[in-house]
Every structure is written in structure tokens, then in C-alpha cells.
Amino acid sequence: MIAVLDDPAEAQAIIADLEDRGIPPQAISLIDPASTIDASTDGAIAPTVMFGMIAGLLAGGILGLAADAWMAMDLSRPLAVTLGGVAGASIGTVAGGLRARLGSSSRERRETPLAVGVHHPDPTVVDSAEDVMAAHRPIRLHRQDR
């Protein structure tokens, strides 16, 4: 028995109701594709990380050059630009990675449905689970043994 949902809170409510009805916890499963990282997610993160790194490198290099000119730090200009660029690239890489990961998580949550499943050899247990799941009005309800 599988119920497909788009709300994580509703999935947790179904699981709680199933357990209250006496369905064994080992017979209940939650499938959340958004919680796994696959190649398509990694592909979406890489450009954002690269953009953050390059933007940070350029901004840090310019700030290093400006700081050297303004404060007359006893550093050579190339060293000031390099230090500023490395610091900026590091910050930009982290910021880009966080932005990509947080952005992809929220998109996955909205676009990727969840599934609550009950797997048990006793048909009466599955019948009971079907009643509980149907009461929650999932997007889709599917029973494998029929």
C-alpha cells in the first residue's frame, strides 16, 4: 500500500495514525526522494558554486588592490590582489554552495512528492492501512496486491 503526498507534515501525520491503528512500525516506510543527492542535484550546484568562486575572486582582488592603494600596506600590489582574491574566492565558493543547496532543497520539496508505504504479508493489516491513508486524501493511493 503506497500513499503519495506533497506535504512532509501530512506524511508524518499518516505515519503517526498508522502506528496508532496498530500497524507495526517495521511495516511502515517513508520515501523522500528530495532527501537524497543525485547526479542531477550535483549538476545544479556546480554552476552556482563556480559563479560564487569567480565573483568572490574578482571582488576580493579588487578590494585587495583598493586596500593596498588606500592604506599603503607594505605589500606588493600583486600580493595584495592575490590575498584578496583567495579570500574572496573562498567566501564566494562557500556562499555559492550554500545558495545552490538551499535553493535546490526548496525546489525539490515543492516538486518532489513523498510516499508512505505499508508492506505486510497480512491482508487485514494492509486493509487497515488503506483506510488510514485514504482518510488523509493523498495525491495518489496505490495497492500492489490487487
Q: How many of the other CB atoms lie within 10 Å of CB of 72? A: 8
* pTM > 0.85: yes or no: no
pLDDT in tens, 67-118: 777 776 666 777 777 877 788 777 877 777 777 666 655 444 446 688 899 9
Query: What are phi and psi for residue 78, nearest 5 degrees?
Result: -60, -35
Say what the pLDDT of residue 130 is: 93
Instruction: Give the whole-angstrom CA distance, residue 99 versus residue 94.
Output: 9
Q: Domain residues for 54?
A: 41-112
Are residues 92 and 72 located together in one domain of the fold? Answer: yes
Are residues 95 and 52 located together in one domain of the fold? Answer: yes
pLDDT in tens, 114-136: 889 998 888 898 999 999 999 99
Are residues 93 and 57 located together in one domain of the fold? Answer: yes
Instruction: Give the whole-angstrom CA distance, residue 104 versus residue 49.
Output: 13
Q: Structurally, how many domains does the chain consist of?
A: 2
Q: What is the dihedral of CA 10, 18, 2, 140, to 10 degrees?
A: -40
